[in-house]
Structure 1
Amino acid sequence: MDPHIIFLGGFGILMLLVAWVPVLIKRLPLSLPIICIAIGALFFALINEKGLQPRNYPQITEILTELTVIISLAGAGLRIDDPLKWRFWADTSRLLSITMPLTIAATATLCALALGFPWATAVLLGAVIAPTDPVLAADVQVGPPRSGTSDGVRRSLTSEAGLNDGLAFPFTYLALALATHGLTLGDWTWHWFTVDVLWRILAGAGSGWLLGWLLAMFMFHSGRLSLASTGQGFVALGGTFVTYAGAEAIHGYGFIAVFVGALALRSTQEEVHDYHIRLHDFTEEIERLLMMMLLVMFGGALVGPVLDGLTWPMAGVGLAILFIVRPLAGMIGLIGSRMKSRERAVVSLFGIRGVGSFYYLAYATNQQTFGEIDSAWTLVSFIVLVSILFHGMTSGLSMEWLDRRREAARRRARR
């Protein structure tokens, strides 16, 4: 049989599994990402004993992961029903301004001192590992549009994932600058702060809001010519790509622009329009399809050499980042939050790592030469694997536990 026929048949089976598996595992401590990785590992073990090595294809890895993250960020923004008021976003600001920098600093220090990585590579790993992943965090995020005001845990994790993927970029640029100039301060420091930090963040947020508002005008306020009247879900992709490209054209962060643009679209006076649900559903379907492809390939990489360089010290550092650094940084960042202690603990623990980490690592690899970069790929692959397994098996149970506790508290309050 021709290879392309086998590919088409196999791809069709995988697409059917994406739709079917969530129903099969609904009551099991499993997740769709875990199943996709298992399928990829089994498939590549049967047809190619060498597996895949994403390190050898950084350009392809960067493009595929970038596309997946962009679409996922748009979906995250479209899901948030909560108004743009401080009391709803205070916890998010704490996670972004305190938890994320603490995680980057602690990760970089561990990688430099415990593993002996060059500081440029260590800082890169801090930037790569710090963002929570919007692609793999579906079980701990808010529901579809118009599903009601969300609880603090789901809202915090959704909004954090929506923004910190873009906010990891300044630290990625810092790692690139350190790889070029070393640890000596110079003119590059001022350029990094003014351009890579201030301008790119503000340009991304500003252009995202403007383009999101303009899209809302075309969708809902153009009379018979409105895009909403078409009922086409792929408009979500068009708007997402235009917003991303518009921000990047003025050297802003496109990831930030896409999420902010989706928030702007949802905050219009037509936020209750059924078309928001159509846009979200189409985005979610494309996101799942891309996620499936990437995780199947990641499973194929696991049967190859991607973890061959893993050592016990690297494994220890990876576990410490997931189960010590992130939880502690999260609890510190959420000091003063109105969430209960158990809710703060869940938010701190569920800093899921995934597709975004591979994007930043591939992006940096394509831009500059880093020392110990093969070990960096190994460490990131290990962390992502453990995160997918642990968070995939515990996220649903944890959220159900929190929901039961809230319902019990509401019943007691009514008595």
Structure 2
Amino acid sequence: MTELHLTYGLVGALAFLVALVSRRMRGLPLSEPLLALILGVAAGPHVLGLVDLPVPVRDLVLLEGSRIIVAISVMGAALRFPATHLRQVARPVLILLAVVMPLAAVISGASVLTLGLPVALAALVGACLCPTDPVLAGSIVSGKPAERDLPERVRHTISVESGINDGLALPLVAVALAVVLPATSPGAEAGRIAWEVFGSVLIGGAAGALAALAVRLATKDDDLEPAPNLILTVLLAVAVLGLGRAASTDGILGVFVAGTVYNGMVAGEEREPQQGLDEAVNRYLCLPLFFVLGVVLPWDEWAAFGPAAVVFVVLVLVLRRLPVVLALARPLAFRRREAVFLGWFGPMGASSIFYIAHSMDKGVTDPDFFAAASLMIAASILAFGVTSSPGRQLYARSAMPDTTTTRAHR
């Protein structure tokens, strides 16, 4: 119990301090999740030994913590832009979901083989690593510096993709799990996966529409006070997540669908205060999860991988997404520098933690599975935490007109 209270204290103090310098943090090559991860490593059993979580507690905290955080984060992604702008990014998002995400799973899974894992287990790791994380992606594409430096279409594409693919990665993970843990017939498994996806769309769509109608009515009758208005979409996310899981569907995808429907039906001035809270939640609520991840990182298993661990990390960071997006730049209708930014910034984080914990909850017990997947997630948090601000600034400079050339042509 003391360790749990100490965790509250450390994470709360960290969140308070980084909130005080939140504007300055936007310009530093150091993200809030990376700070939380580092603090967790420092407090964990391999450094100061202040916090040590047994495996059952680790698995439960990672599963339920990541489930709630990802759900609230994808709600924020659904609300970040007006629904009327969705048509502008429909084509690139569809290509990213239908082509880039499955290839990311294949490339990541193939890279895992360098660690010596069996093919089936490597495929499961690859499936867990394929979605773009909405928490880390949100910190890259939101806020005034991002609005100033990045085109809206790039930011909107990453937001929508990260919101949808967190749910659509479930079929890939489920197929890989069926190979690793063959327990049911292929037909029954296919039916279950189909219900998880389409059932979540039905539940999320209905909940989003009902919530929007209720808000319209409450606003019209002046029954909605400012304070509860701030947290409406957070409450909606939690409700859809719970209903979706109770109905054995993909609750995270359902939350994104609910947020998108709600976005399309509620006026912008009514959503504005909710967007501010969603951004704050997306930026700071995730810190306990990444702190816990830092505490439980399996350093001994990583060391057992040897030099192959470095090869694995480099292969995934370089090949998982960037070359595919660059090759598809023309169909995506992005210029080369936009494709480079979009291809590099596809971070792995809370959503991958969720699928890892989900897989272990389903019965995957091989310690190398958690070791390989957590190694890549930690490397992703480090790589994208360090490069997000410089990458955004570099993009802005590359997009600026060459004043020297302009004057020479006058």
**Alignment TM-score, normalising by the size of structure 1:** 0.85
The separation in 1 between residues aligned to 2:5 and 2:54, in whole angstroms, is 24
Bigger drift between 200-209 and 71-80 goes to: 200-209
Q: Does structure 2 conserve the Cα–Cα contact (< 8 Å) formed by 1:50 and 1:303?
A: no
- Given candidates 383, 389, 394, the residue that maps to 2:382 is 389
Quickly say closer, same or farther: Cα 1:4–1:175, change in 2 above 3 A. closer
Task: Show the 5 A alignment for 1:400-411.
Answer: 400-408=393-401
Moved more, 68-77 or 317-326: 317-326
8 A Cα contact 1:55 1:377, kept in partner: no
Match of 2:182 in 1: 181
Deviations 1:136-155 (A, max 9, x none): 123322459xx899622211
**8 A Cα contact 1:309 1:375, kept in partner:** no
Change over 3 Å in CA distance of 1:91–1:226 after alignment to 2:
farther
Aligned to 1:78: 79
Change (3 A) 1:204 1:389: same
Match for residue 277 of structure 1 among 272, 280, 287: 272
TM-score normalised over the length of structure 2: 0.86
Change in Cα spacing, 1:53 to 1:402, as seen in structure 2 (3 Å) is: farther
Shift of 1:167: 1.0
The answer as to 2:254 corresponding to 1:257 is yes
Pair 226,127 (structure 1): closer, same or farther in 2 beyond 3 Å: farther
The question of 1:291 aligning with 2:292 is answered no
Give the distance between the partners of 1:215 and 1:50, measured in 2 at CA: 41
Query: Which residue of the partner structure matches residue 327 of structure 1?
Result: 322
Amino acid of the residue matched to residue 235 of structure 1?
Answer: L
Match of 2:130 in 1: 130
SS of the equivalent of 1:339 reads coil
1:243 lines up with 2:240 in the alignment: yes
SS across alignment from 2:221: helix
Residue of 196, 208, 213 corresponding to 2:209: 213
- State the alpha-carbon separation in 1 of the partners of residues 336 and 373 from structure 2: 30
Structure 2 CA distance for aligned equivalents of residues 109 and 347 of structure 1: 22
Structure with greater helix percent: 2
Q: What's the RMSD between the two structures over aligned residues?
A: 3.1
SS at match of 2:124: helix
1:98 aligns to 2:99 (yes or no): yes
Q: What's the secondary structure of 2:321's corresponding residue?
A: helix
Partner of 2:34: 34
C-alpha distance 26-175 of structure 1, shift in aligned 2 (>3 A): closer
CA distance in structure 2 between the partners assigned to 1:230 and 1:23 by the alignment: 24
Matched, 1:342 2:343: no
Deviation string 1:372-405 (CA, Å, 9 cap, x unpaired) is x311212222211221122112112222333344
2:325 and 2:187 map into 1 onto residues whose CA distance is: 30
Report the CA distance shift for 1:345/1:26 in structure 2 as closer, same or farther (over 3 A): closer
2:59 and 2:360 in contact (8 A); partners too: yes
**CA offset digits 1:179-198 (Å, max 9, x no partner):** 2339xxxx8333333431x3
Is the Cα–Cα contact under 8 Å of residues 51 and 304 in structure 1 kept in the other structure? no
Q: Pick from 241, 264, 288: which aligns with 1:267? A: 264
Secondary structure class of the residue paired with 1:201:
helix
Q: 1:298 deviation in Å?
A: 2.4
**How many pairs align?**
400
Question: Which deviates more, 62-71 or 401-410?
Answer: 401-410
Measured in 1, the distance between the counterparts of 2:279 and 2:328 equals 30
Q: Counterpart of 2:320 in 1: which secondary structure?
A: helix
Give 1:33 shift: 1.8
Structure 1: any 5+ residue segments left out of the alignment?
A: none
The residue aligned with 2:353 is 358
Aligned twin of 1:48:
49
Deviation at 1:276, TM superposition (A): 1.2
Paired residue secondary structure (2:37): helix
Percent identity (aligned): 23
SS at match of 2:115: coil
Partners of 2:3 and 2:51 within 8 A in 1: no
- Mapped to 1, the partners of 2:201 and 2:231 lie a distance apart of 23
**Which residue does 1:374 correspond to in 2?**
367
Alignment-derived partner of residue 392 in structure 2: 399
The answer to whether the Cα contact below 8 Å between 2:43 and 2:50 also exists between their aligned partners in 1 is no
Inter-CA distance 292–336: structure 2 relative to 1 (3 Å threshold):
same
Once residues 8 and 368 of structure 1 are traced to their aligned partners in structure 2, the CA distance between those partners, rounded to angstroms, is 29
CA distance in 1, matches of 2:326, 2:27: 30
1:88 correspondence with 2:89: yes
Q: Which amino acid aligns with 1:312?
A: P
What secondary structure, in the 3-state scheme, does the structure 2 residue paired with 1:232 have?
helix
Q: Cα deviation per residue 1:64-105 (whole Å; 9 max; x = unaligned)?
A: 111111111111111122525543221111110000111112
Structure 2 residue 195 is the aligned partner of structure 1 residue 171: no
For residue 30 of structure 1, give the secondary structure of its aligned residue in structure 2.
Answer: coil
1:215: how far off?
Answer: 0.5
Does the Cα contact within 8 Å between 1:83 and 1:267 map onto a contact in 2? yes
**2 CA distance for matches of 1:131 and 1:208?**
20
Match of 2:198 in 1: 202
